[in-house]
């Protein structure tokens, strides 16, 4: 069984039929993903952090869709999002430095 199937099953089974998945679903799914990768705390920290990253990106996207089209496609805004994504992912990736903690 592939990893993606396990993650999708956990994510979908935690929500009640007819309701939208919540942040709780995401955090549990990401923690299961961390356990799936190994018993090291670095994996758990990384995957828990990515749950917060996903939730933040959803909020920012929802907010951004209220802007006029010319603001959303403004080149400096794209560059800002790229730089911020790189910084946040670098911060989250530092959890791999403590794999043997």
Residues tagged active-site:
37
Cα within 13 Å of Cα(87), Cβ side: 6
Taking Cα atoms as reference points, which of 61, 24, 29 lies closest to residue 47? 29
């Amino acid at each position: 069984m592939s990893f993606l199937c396990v993650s999708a099953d956990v994510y979908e089974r935690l929500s009640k039929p007819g309701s939208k998945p919540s942040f709780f679903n995401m955090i549990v799914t990401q923690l299961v993903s961390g356990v799936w990768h190994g018993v090291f705390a670095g994996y758990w920290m990384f995957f828990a952090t990515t749950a917060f990253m996903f939730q933040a990106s959803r909020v920012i996207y929802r907010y951004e869709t209220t802007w006029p089209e010319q603001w959303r496609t403004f080149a400096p805004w794209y560059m800002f999002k790229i730089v911020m994504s790189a910084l946040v992912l670098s911060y989250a990736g530092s959890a791999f430095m403590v794999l043997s903690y």
